[in-house]
Amino acid sequence: MAQLFHPAANTVARASIGFIAILAGFIGWLGYEAQGSPYVTRQGIFRDQPVPFSHEHHVRGLGLDCRYCHTSVENSSFAGIPPTETCMTCHSKVWTNANLLQPIRDSWQTNQPIRGYGGDRQDAAGWVRVHHLPDFVYFNHSIHVNKGVGCSTCHGRVDEMPLMYQHANLQMEWCLDCHRDPAKNLRPRDQIFDMEWEPPANQDIKGKELAELYHVAPLEHLQTCYVCHR
């Protein structure tokens, strides 16, 4: 019987299988890297807002406490977006004619939420949430704040951000990293809103003491699916 395949066919077949395996691995790696990239997570990307609010100016420059604008952060699942009245407490006296604050003045005069102003932002919606979680994720600000998790732990040094951006990737692995060892991120409650707070050299000991003091849930509970997915 005549030979149907060239002697090199086995080599070609083996090379093809190897190539397919490598290609599948590369595609898998590419997908993994893509789902953690800023393109997907929006980490480190500035959001277009109706007013270019500077946390650096208001927090570091003027010394405003986080709770002045985010009034419900200690007792609600939502930190709260400041109403126009909060802005106008100061801006009815200072920068009263600044063009970039026109959306705030319009909102105050019409008693309507702040909206975009001018050019291609004329019909834009109001404040854009920078840290946005999927609907299937449950997150409660008040729990974390009252258990000793500071603002800068999740939001970064907002006092150094002229324009606000998302500091962390907010993906599940990032949350679990803390839930598996929350002590490393705990601080005294009177330091929660201190942007310059740094963990002490013995944070592993202090953190565990704070976890006991603030009744942080056991690790097996913190890592249970229904804690975040309800």
* DSSP per position, the chain: ----S-TTHHHHHHHHHHHHHHHHHHHHHHHHHHHTSHHHH-BT-BPP-SS---HIIIIIIT---HHHH-TTTTTSSS--PPPHHHHHHHHTTSSTT-GGGHHHHHHHHHT------SGGGTT--SPPPSS---TT----HHHHHHTTB-HHHHH--GGG-SS-BB-S---HHHHHHHHT-GGGGB--GGGTT-TT----TTHHHHHHHHHHHTTPPPHHHHTSGGGT--
Q: What is the pLDDT of residue 125?
A: 59
Q: What is the pLDDT of residue 80?
A: 86
The rounded distance, in Å, linking the Cα atoms of 132 and 169 is 11
Q: Residue 113 class from Cβ within 10 Å (0-12 exposed, 13-18 middle, 19+ buried)?
A: middle
Query: Mean pLDDT by 10-residue block, N- to C-terminus, for the chain (230 residues)?
Result: 68 82 84 78 90 95 95 92 92 93 93 66 66 92 97 97 96 95 97 96 97 95 93
Q: What is the pLDDT of residue 5?
A: 67
Domain segments of the chain: what residues? 11-41, 72-81+129-230
Q: Locate tokens 């009744």: which residue?
A: 215
| Cβ(192)–Cβ(153) below 8 Å | no
Q: What is the pLDDT of residue 1?
A: 54
